Amino acid sequence: MGKILLYLALVVFFSGLGILGGYFVADLYNLPHIEQLEEYQPSQITRIYSGDGEILAEFSQERREVATLARIPLWIQNAFIAAEDQRFYQHRGIDFRRILKAAWVDLRTWSMAEGASTITQQLARNLFLTPKKTFLRKLKEAILAIQIERRYSKKEILQMYLNQIYFGKGIYGVGEAASFYFGKNVGEINLAESAFLATIPRNPTYYSPLNHPDHTNQRKKIILKRMLELDFITEDEWRTTKEEFINVAISKGKERKGAIFHAPYFVEWVRQKIEKKYGYRRLWRAGLKVYTSLDLDLQKKAEETLVPYLKENDHQGALLAIDPHTGWVKALVGGRDFAESQFNRATQARRQTGSAFKIFTYTAAIDSRKFTSVSPFYDAPIFFRRAKKVGKSGEIREEGEYWSPENFEKHFWGRVYLWQMFTHSINVSSVKLLQEVGVGKVIDYAHRLGIEGLLNHDLTLTLGTSGLSLLEMVRGYATIANYGIKVKPIFIQRVEDRKGRVIEENFPQGEIVLSPQASFVMIDLLKKTIDYGTGRRVRSLGFNRPCAGKTGTVGWPAKKITDKTIDAWFIGFTPDLVAGVWIGNDDATPLGEKMTGSAVAIPVWTEFMKRALQEKPVKDFPSPSGIVFKKIDVETGLLASPQSRDTLWFAFLEGTAPQRYSSQANDLSRSMIEEINSIRFFPELE
């Protein structure tokens, strides 16, 4: 009976030993292939740059700047060898002397405190294994280290190691550690700083330079002593550096894995585009270099102008500036505070534009050649019957109510000319103009000039009742400023991979959508808006350069003009810069009484443009061929005569200027003019 029990015990023992051995063999058989290192690409930082090369933001899961061994000072290399593996150049992956010493210390202290891993073993663990301390992991680590040593040189191993080690705070590699803790390029690190950095990877929490600088500096002395003993430094170098206390200074935002340093709304817009096109992994790990169109100097001026105003007055807003010739977005402020709200009001918000939309109605009118800047209209009350409701069988169920547009000033102008309707934002006569030009045609022109959103297909269109983004509106105005050539807004100029290879490049793309002559007539009208119309405040605030622009004011409730504004706009341009400003509340509550585009948006626009152009030469808009200038009698809309008291110069498409002089005005039948222009229309509202 005893022999049977012994036999069974031996069977169980050797069976278990066999099973355990089989487990170990199977596990070891699944070791990673060292050949993977040939394709190994450590996670790197993706950086977003301004147009002038300044870093705007960094995105990474592991903050790492890969540095070649040639760039890493010998001091740093030797400091890590002294700290982690003094016989690095003598062993072949495993240091048996060190293993025996560590085993003796561990037995004597009855602990596992003494480490015996070589730099090669640490590299194997960091790349392929877990940090969990087990016998099996140590065995795998040793096997992998031997394989690595057979395949790679010591210098290649040391370079991989120095770019892989962890320094706390999401920092990997000596290149990024030098930048993070000292604000230096790795090649600028001195001896004391080298020993200081070499202390951290042993225990990034205990030796944290941020939380425990005394621990770090104390171990720095130990490493310097080891470097002296190994003849890595001289006694004079040791003596002059051992007592040097190292302080660190971290730049603002460096501790975050995704750090935005400038232009947060612009950067976030770019980040979303990059992630959508290249994927999450490439954005956060591939070390892309994204070069944008942003002018950092203009961006700072935009922020310094808009943000204090918004904070002082406690409503939201946006400012967007682009180069009309290239489409490069030069500045973008999407709100009062990015930390408070990441919603980008320059690109994502769709708000009613008010009279700022009239530019599309009047462009369609001018380009048709049926209307000129001095075409006469009669501004008087007008009523429109809303669309009829028709039953399934075609019968008219309900005639619909009447709608009557109102002017902001609550009065009617009587006889007016097209240029006055535009510069003074006269609503009623503008609706008459839309009716004559055609709603569908104006929508076509708006889309042609750069508007992409849905537009209301009715006569309220010219009053700006459609929800549009600031980016769309600025693009539309830029087409006029660029003499009819529509350009695509460009945020990203170029994207490079980690090796500097260009993987995306965007060039200005222009499409001729309007004649330069029609564009120039509109520029002339927009200039008169600033000199004589709703944009006059630009001049009163001291901006005297040639410029063109249009206000937009949306009252409360929607589609009805009152004294309470919910959206205030101004979009204007000089020959080389277009900028738009929107002010309002996210919940569309009123800003207050008389908070018009002129009162609210123009001051921001004017201050920004003053700052943006203060060192630029003064330029005017050149006239293209096919344009004629005529001196017009403001009262009659005819060519000025010697008797004319109030005159202005106007631009006309060739062949469309008036032929009669104001002195001949009496030859016209005034009653005929009034009969034509004072008709009160009663058509259906489209």
Task: List CB contacts of 24: < 8 A, sequence separation 6 or more.
Answer: 136, 139
Structural contact between residues 601 and 551, judged by C-beta atoms closer than 8 angstroms: yes
- What gap in Å lies between CA 618 and CA 418, rounded to an integer? 29
CB-neighbour burial class of residue 566 (10 A; exposed 0-12, middle 13-18, buried 19+): buried
Task: List CB contacts of 167: < 8 A, sequence separation 6 or more.
Answer: 173, 176, 177, 180, 181, 197, 200, 201, 204
Q: Does domain 333-338+344-383+400-492+505-613 have CATH number 3.40.190.170?
A: no
**How confident is the model over 588-612, as a mean pLDDT?**
93
Structural contact between residues 172 and 165, judged by C-beta atoms closer than 8 angstroms: yes
Average pLDDT, the chain: 86
pLDDT for residue 239 is more than 70 = yes
**How confident is the model over 608-632, as a mean pLDDT?**
96
- What gap in Å lies between CA 227 and CA 243, rounded to an integer? 15
Please give the residue that has the higher pLDDT: either 472 or 395.
Answer: 472
pLDDT for residue 234 is more than 90 = yes
- What gap in Å lies between CA 173 and CA 180, rounded to an integer? 11
Which among 422, 436, 426 is positioned nearest to 406, based on CA atoms? 426
Per-residue confidence (pLDDT) for residue 24, from 0 to 100: 44
Radius of gyration (C-alpha) of the chain in whole angstroms:
37
Task: List CB contacts of 408: < 8 A, sequence separation 6 or more.
Answer: 425, 427, 553, 555, 561, 596
pLDDT for residue 587 is more than 90 = yes
Per-residue confidence (pLDDT) for residue 145, from 0 to 100: 84
Which among 260, 272, 267, 254 is positioned nearest to 293, based on CA atoms? 267
Residue 252 confidence class, pLDDT cut points 50, 70, 90: very low
Which among 66, 73, 62, 47 is positioned nearest to 197, based on CA atoms? 73
Architecture field, domain 64-241 = Orthogonal Bundle (1.10)
Q: What percent of the chain has pLDDT over 70?
A: 83
pLDDT for residue 494 is more than 90 = yes
333-338+344-383+400-492+505-613 has the same fold as 64-241: no
pTM: 0.78
Task: List CB contacts of 352: < 8 A, sequence separation 6 or more.
Answer: 464, 465, 466, 467, 468, 554, 558, 566, 567
Strand partners, 292: 492
Query: Strand, coil or helix: what is 318?
Result: strand
Structural contact between residues 553 and 568, judged by C-beta atoms closer than 8 angstroms: yes
Helices (H), 152-295: 154-164, 174-182, 191-199, 213-229, 235-241, 264-278, 280-285
- Dig out the tokens for 62 from the structure: 């592991």
Per-residue confidence (pLDDT) for residue 501, from 0 to 100: 94
Distance of CA 643 to the CA centre of its chain: 57
Query: Tens digit of pLDDT for each residue in 283-324?
Result: 888 889 999 999 999 999 999 999 999 999 989 999 999 999
- What gap in Å lies between CA 385 and CA 393, rounded to an integer? 22
Which among 71, 68, 80, 67 is positioned nearest to 232, based on CA atoms? 80
pLDDT for residue 20 is more than 70 = no
Structural contact between residues 425 and 358, judged by C-beta atoms closer than 8 angstroms: yes
Q: Phi and psi for 73 in degrees, rounded to 5?
A: -55, 150
Residue 99 confidence class, pLDDT cut points 50, 70, 90: confident
Per-residue confidence (pLDDT) for residue 4, from 0 to 100: 59
Count other Cβ atoms within 10 Å, centred on residue 354.
27
pLDDT for residue 381 is more than 70 = yes
Structural contact between residues 457 and 438, judged by C-beta atoms closer than 8 angstroms: no
User: Minimum mean pLDDT among 3-12, 354-363, 404-413: which range?
Assistant: 3-12
Count other Cβ atoms within 10 Å, centred on residue 638.
20
Per-residue confidence (pLDDT) for residue 682, from 0 to 100: 37
pLDDT for residue 461 is more than 70 = yes
Structural contact between residues 316 and 585, judged by C-beta atoms closer than 8 angstroms: yes
Beta strand 492-496 pairing with 510-512: unpaired
Structural contact between residues 154 and 224, judged by C-beta atoms closer than 8 angstroms: no
Q: Phi and psi for 471 in degrees, rounded to 5?
A: -60, -45
Q: How far is CA 213 from CA 178, 186, 196, 202, in A?
A: 16, 20, 10, 14
Q: Which amino acid is at 586?
A: D
- Assign 3-class secondary structure to 638-663: CECCCCCCCEEEEEEECCCCCCCEHH
- What gap in Å lies between CA 579 and CA 492, rounded to an integer? 19
Task: List CB contacts of 234: < 8 A, sequence separation 6 or more.
Answer: 228
Query: What residues does each domain of the chain span?
Result: 42-61+257-292, 64-241, 333-338+344-383+400-492+505-613, 627-668
Alpha carbons within 13 A on the beta-carbon side of 256? 9
Q: Phi and psi for 615 in degrees, rounded to 5?
A: -110, 10
Per-residue confidence (pLDDT) for residue 474, from 0 to 100: 98
- What gap in Å lies between CA 384 and CA 584, rounded to an integer? 30
How many residues are present in the chain? 686
pLDDT for residue 18 is more than 90 = no
First to last CA, the chain: 107
Which among 341, 317, 313, 307 is positioned nearest to 580, based on CA atoms? 317
**How confident is the model over 106-124, as a mean pLDDT?**
69
- Assign 3-class secondary structure to 567-590: EEEEEEEECCEEEEEEEECCCCCC
- Dig out the tokens for 98 from the structure: 């060190």
- Dig out the tokens for 196 from the structure: 């200081």
Query: Strand, coil or helix: what is 565?
Result: strand
- What gap in Å lies between CA 382 and CA 403, rounded to an integer? 8
Q: Which amino acids are annotated catalytic?
A: 84, 355
Which residue in this structure is represented by tokens 């950086």? 47
Per-residue confidence (pLDDT) for residue 457, from 0 to 100: 93
Per-residue confidence (pLDDT) for residue 671, from 0 to 100: 42
CB-neighbour burial class of residue 534 (10 A; exposed 0-12, middle 13-18, buried 19+): buried
Q: How far is CA 432 from CA 19, 378, 385, in A?
A: 93, 9, 14
